Each structure stands twice: as structure tokens, then as C-alpha cells.
Amino acid sequence: MHLLINMKKTEKSPGSKRSAGNSLYAAAVLFLSLSAVLVSVILLFDFVSGIFRDGDRLGENFQAVLTEESAVELLAASFLEGSVHDYSVIPSFTVGGQKTVFTVTGTSSIPPETLTFPFRRDSLLEVLPLRGAGAVLVSRAGDSICVDMLQVGNAPGIIELLGVPWDDRDVIGLKAEMLDDGVHVYFLAMEPGGGESFLELTPDGAIEVSEIRLPPDPVSGNLREVAVGDYDGDGAADTLSITVNAAMVICGDGGTYSDSIPGARMVAWSIACDDAAPCFRWTSGDGRDRWRIFSGNGFEDLDGIRNGLRNRAGEAVHVEDDSAMGPASGFITVDASGERVPSSSPGVLLCDVNGGGVDAVRVREGRLEVAVDPMEGNGLLVEVSSVTALGNDDVLLRSSWGYRIYGTGSGKRIRWERWS
Amino acid sequence: MGNAGRRSFVAAVWMAAAFLLLTGVLLTYRERMERQEKRRGALMVAGGVLYRWDGRDFPETGVFDSTVLVGETLFQVRRTVRDVSPGVREMKLFVGEEGDRYVELTRLFTELR
């Protein structure tokens, strides 16, 4: 009985048990809630800190882009100045505290550079080079004669200058000239009823009777070059016209001299600097060369190339292996593969558009194509990957680039573009 | 106080705690947030300034100061260009407010342009 009473004393009441269970439950809920709040707070702070980290990173990424652009340009300059001799050892560059490291992934030969522009014209009549700054293009488009400006260099493109209606007269001679007030185009046209007319297209689009009387092209109807100078030494201006198959000098006193060699093509011409005498190189079908010179009162044979020949721009003239002479006027053709072919392909006009040598210009399938300095031969493509990093491990930017290198020596040119 | 009243009180305490927490976060980061916003604005200004040299211009040497207003912030822009080697120029661009630079960027240019 006593034991029973003691047992009852030690036994807790049911209300007390429930209260203890509730307390435990409440403590667990409180702990979990606090944990959830703590985790939320940590996540919130981490999130906000992440926003700031990203913000700080934005500045680093911005600098990484600039570092990479700087390094890519510096590498191009290294290629251009020839300081990179071994492609397995190319320089890295540090700019703004970040470093760009390059790796060459491949090299290959590429065709000569070709610039392509949309050009809605039917045929190209004349290209007038502008001292390395591009060219003036005279072309036919339907019933119109169009004059456009081709710009090369840093901002290549075509600017439309003029488009004037043209009637049924055939153009059998043409010469463009850049004067102070703009482009003047001189025509020798065949009237529909017969007879020739000399016309001038002025920069404001007017077609007037020309005071300049162009000579006709006696063979192909495709006048390739006209130059004005005192070729006979009498002090009066003479006109020299050149086609593929003939050279003609119209002297200021009215005398006319022409020269052609049956079975031979004129492959190059230039002006001798010492006495301003036009010189010509003819090549016959069997590949033999014959040199001719205008002496003032006719054409004569010349015993080989004359020393000191200079072209109209005053540049030294040299003989190329396939018989083009000098950068001012060489009658070569560049085919689709970039091969240099000494021929008189119609539709391909040759002149120095970019100031670096003979360029080939043609219209094809609604585009104007300019093969830039094709006489240089093929170019070189250098494929490069770049890694820009802050320190050694913190990589910010990875890219790949293509460098196209054309020409050699002072005529070397480089283009580059981001591939990825 | 009954059960319902106690629960309401506890809920109010939690909400107050949450509000205080968020206010604390906001107050803690307010200055950084403002600076961050200004830094973004400064980067935008720097991008606009540098965009001019995406073309092919070779920058002139010297120190060039200007100001750009973005929203209510008047940014001061300083551009210093110097020759670092033959044919290579370094342009440093600083964008900030009075006595406070948010952005400092460096770009090199060559005579290829």
C-alpha cells in the first residue's frame, strides 16, 4: 500500500505531459524557423553580394575586351613589321593589368585579296584611279551612263555620283578625268546615222560638246589608256592613246602617228622619265618580246628595256615575270583563281586603285570585284586563338582570329577578323 | 491574451524582424548599390567614348577632359593619350565624379588604324 502511494506520487499528471510535449515541439519549430531564417539571410546576403561581384566583374570584362582588342592590333602590327619569324613563338601582350596570350592554330595559302561591292551596272567602261584613294568608275546601266566613286582603304564602298540618260550612240572611246570641280568624262561616240561626236559629261550631269577630241580605238573599240603630255618636244600638248593592239599619238600640231605589230599584243607601256618618251612592250604569239619607243616623229625599235623608265606617276618601272611592266598600266588579267594571265580579257580593267600596284576591276553578277595587287601572288592566312586573363588562372575571354597577310616588304597589308 | 492574440503577436514580431532584416540589408548595401549604379553609368559612358575608336582613327596625344550627364549624375571624363613606343599609343580613360573614379580603362592603338 505504501509502495502504491509512492508510485502515484512520482507519476506526472497527463496535463503536465502534454505541456512538456508542446514545449519540445515549439522548440523544434523555433529551431527550424531560425534555421530557415538564417539560411534565407545567408542566401540573401550572398545574392546581393553576387550582384556586386558581377558589377565589379563587369568592369574587368570591359577591360578584357579592350585588352584583347589592343593585343590583336599589336599582333597585327608585329606581323606587318615582320618581327614574328616563328609562328610557334608569337608574343603576348599585357594591357590594363590583363594579359592576352596567343597561340597559332594553323597557317595556309589564300588567293589574292578581292574586294566585293554591290554594283547594279551592266558593264564597266572606264576606271580612273585616284592616287591610291580609290577610283572613279564609269559604267553603263540600261539606257544610262553612270559615274560612281570607289573608295578603298579603311572605309571601302561605292558612292553614286551621276546617272544620266544616254541615247543610241555607241561609245567608241572614253576618258575620265578628275578636275578641281569633280569628274569629267569625255566620250568619242558614234552617231546613229554615222559620224563621230566628241562629248563631255560634266560633274553636274550635263552632256556637252567636248573640246577634247579623243582618238578612236582602231581595233577593239576598247580604249585602255589615254595620256596627255609633250611627247614630241615641241612644247604643245600631245595625246597618247593605247589599246591592246595599237598605240597612237596625236600631236599638238595635228600630226598623227600610230603603231601596231601584226601578231603581237602590247603587254605593257610606260613613259621614259628622261625624255618623256612613251615606250611599249609587245609580245608575239611565240612569246618573243619587242620594245618600241615614240621618238617624236614616229615609232622606233628599242633595244631592250630602257634604264630609268618611270610610269606616269613617277614610280620606277620594273619588268614582271609575265611581262607586265610597271604599276601604271600593265595588260594582265586575273582569272577566278587569282592567276596572273597576260591577256586582254574584255571586261577586266586594270589600274592602281589602292596605290600599291596594278589592281584588276570587273563587274560580275551584280557586283564589282577588285582584285587587289594580284601581281603579288597569294596571301597567307594565320589562324590564331587568344586567351585573356587576369593573373594566371582567372580567364576572362577566349576568342579565335584570322589574320590575312598580303604582299611583302613595304607593300605588305594585313586584315584580321574575329572568328569566334 | 488568448491563443489568437498571442499568435497575431508572434506573427507581428516575425514580420517586424523580417522588415528590420531587409531594412538592415538595404542600409548595409545602400551606399554600394548607389556606387554600383554609378559604376554602371560610368561604364556606359566609357563604352560610348571608346566606341568612337572602333573605326580606324589613331588618337591624338594629350589630356582631354569632358563631362557627360547621365540621369542626375554628371560624370567627368578624362582621356589621356601618350606614346608608349614607336607607332603605339596608350589611351587611358577615367570616368567618375568629383574625387571619385568609378572606371579606369586602358586601350592601346597602333598606326595600323
Q: Is the pLDDT of residue B7 over 90?
A: no
d(C-alpha A387, C-alpha B65), whole Å:
33
Three cell numbers at A191? 552617231
Give residue-wise pLDDT tens across range A197-251: 888 889 898 888 877 666 544 333 455 566 667 888 888 877 777 765 678 887 8
Residues of B in contact with A58 (CB under 8 A): 39-40, 43
Rounded Cα distance between B103 and B17, Å, is 38
Q: Do B40 and A58 touch (CB under 8 A)?
A: yes
Q: Which of A324-333, A334-343, A404-413, B84-93 is most confident?
A: B84-93
Task: State pLDDT tens for residues A122-158.
Answer: 878 777 777 677 888 888 888 898 999 998 877 789 9
Please state the pTM of the whole predicted model: 0.62
Contact A66 B106 (CB under 8 A): yes
Q: What is the pLDDT of residue A376?
A: 67
Question: What's the DSSP call for residue A83?
Answer: -
Looking at the predicted structure, is the pLDDT value of residue A360 above 90?
no
Terminal-residue alpha carbon distance, chain A: 95
Q: What is the mean pLDDT of residues A75-102?
A: 89
Cα-based distances in Å from A340 to A344, A358, A373, A375, B50:
12, 11, 11, 7, 43
**CA pair distance A236, A214, nearest whole angstrom:** 16
Q: Name which of A318, A309, A241, A245 is nearest A276 in CA terms.
A: A309
B50: contact with A, CB 8 A cutoff: yes
pLDDT given at position A307 = 45
- Mind giving me the DSSP string for A278-331? EEEEEEETTS-EEEEEE-SSSEEEESSPPTTEE-TTSPBP-B-TTS-BTTT-B-
Tell me, what's the pLDDT at A346? 46
The span from the first CA to the last CA of chain B, in angstroms, equals 82
In this complex, is the C-beta atom of A419 within 8 Å of any C-beta atom belonging to chain B? Answer: no
CB contacts under 8 A, A 36-65 vs B, are 37, 41, 44-45, 48, 51-52, 55, 58-59, 62-63
**Measured over all CA atoms, what is the biggest interatomic distance in chain B, rounded to whole angstroms?**
87
**In sequence order, which residues have a C-beta less than 8 Å from that of residue A147 and are 6 or more positions away?**
A136, A137, A138, A161, A162, A163, A176, A183, A185, A201
Among A15-24, A286-295, A350-359, name the one with the lowest average pLDDT: A350-359
CA dist A94 and A260 (Å) reads 63
